Amino acid sequence: MSAQPLHLPPGVTWIDTSQGLAEAIPSWRAAGELAIDTEADSYYVYRVKVCLLQLSTRQGDWLIDPLAGLDLAPLAELCADARLLKVMHAGSNDVGLLKKTHRFAFANVFDTMLAAQVLGLRRPGLAALLLERFGVEQKKAYQTSDWGKRPLSEGQLHYAAGDTRFLLPLRDQLLAELQAKGRLDEAQEEFERLTSAEQSERAFDPDSWQRAPGALDLEPLAISVLRELYALRDSIAARRDRSPHRIFRDDALVAIARAQPRSRAELGQLGGQIGWQVERDAGDVLAAVERGLAAGPYVRERRRARGIEGEAPLTERERRRFEALREWRRQRAAQRDVEESRVATTGTLRALAREEVLDRERLAQVAGMSPFRVREYGDELLALLANGGEGPVRERSSDGPAAGEAPRGASRPAPPVAPPRGARDDLPI
């Protein structure tokens, strides 16, 4: 029996039964395109799960409750069907989490955030796009609300439905702009890469203490204590399935590491600095302090000059090539009016700077050099590196094709901009 929320927005269908899901599948399949989003509980638990799925077609919106014990296999089948277009926004987490927790697979995806980035839009977030293009304001506060609690609030339900309601018309607009700029091929490579997104099991980072405010200002012995406290917090969080920050606050752990209390009385003297949560685990906290003190002062590793963990520093010659590549990237990004990382990441530039012998075949094997980047920038990069990093940047006034040429990826005419609801005639998928 369905437990439909009391404050469900008009036009939104709530699904929490296998029958409800089975009844909706045919209409989703017939639509040919489906906007998808998820809400998770990552701010509240250690082992993250999908707490809500939002789906929209041009005819309606659906909210699916996976916490009701639904078998989502019928929906997973749709997501794997290349004949059905799936539209998402910043979908890497959604894809990875659905793969991990419900064994989904994805094909034929259009990501509106990736499309906006390829277009060089300076505000590619969904809230900004919805406000600028549809006059719709989304309340970001709900992004961090507890989606694992039931019943969901009226505000949560309105926010969730709004996350997918405008994705299909937004896709129409962005697709037309990609075609007009000749950037559809580039975007399609990003969409294809998105389908391979994975989400691994949560793992403790022993260096996570470094991100705590004030941690790097502690004395070496206090840092050893802090490291033990962070390890303790993670183990408690995993055991209770709660987010580590909901076990002990970062500032509380720094305060304990600085004070190094040896008894419950000394720990209690820290009062409001540590919060009530610490009292529950006072014995474990004091044991962690003792372990840190016994370990002795923390010895900081010498930082590699301009290096990255696991890599040797660049040689002087490689550094000159790297700087030349960075300047090339800066100019190229300015020409295309995109963020520099859309041309090439810093990691890719470092890899290119290390290459002694480089041809087009080897260029395609360098991490981050996608087929589009090889086609678009290959000749420039080979010329630049062949001259020891002094090659010219090819002049281009825009991404547009040469006179008489059709834009790459524009084999089909751009669709008209569609309203949030309405007919879906002749939309390319």
Kindly state the percentage of the chain with pLDDT values over 90: 80
- Taking CA atoms, 52 is separated from 16, 88, 95, 149, 241, in Å, by 10, 15, 14, 11, 19
Q: pLDDT: is 346 or 307 the higher one?
A: 346
Tell me which of 81-90, 179-188, 310-319 is least confident: 310-319
pLDDT tens, residue by residue, 50-102? 999 999 999 999 999 999 999 999 999 999 999 999 999 999 999 999 999 99
**Calpha distance 252→258 (Å, rounded):** 10
Confidence at residue 428, expressed as pLDDT on a 0 to 100 scale = 35
Averaged confidence pLDDT in the chain: 89
Query: Sign (positive/negative) of CA torsion 405, 410, 411, 414?
Result: negative
Output the pLDDT for position 302: 57
Q: Is the pLDDT of residue 403 over 50?
A: no
Rg of the chain, C-alpha, whole Å: 26
pLDDT digit string (tens) for 195-224? 999 999 999 999 999 999 999 999 999 999
The Cα 87–Cα 105 span in angstroms is 14
Kindly indicate the confidence band of residue 111, based on its pLDDT and cuts at 50, 70 and 90: very high
What domains can you pick out in the chain, each with its CATH number?
12-194 (3.30.420.10), 208-295 (1.10.150.80), 316-386 (1.10.150.80)
**What pLDDT, in 10s, does the model give residues 217-265?**
999 999 999 999 999 999 999 999 999 999 999 999 999 999 999 999 9
Beta partners for 33?
85
pLDDT over threshold 80, residue 413: no
Residue pointed to by tokens 């991100």: 211
Instruction: Tell me the pLDDT tens digit for each residue of 280-299.
Output: 899 999 999 999 999 999 99
Confidence band, pLDDT 50/70/90 cuts, at residue 390: low
Structure confidence at residue 2 (pLDDT): 67
pLDDT, position 1:
59
Better-scored residue on pLDDT, 102 or 6: 102
Higher pLDDT, residue 405 or 294: 294
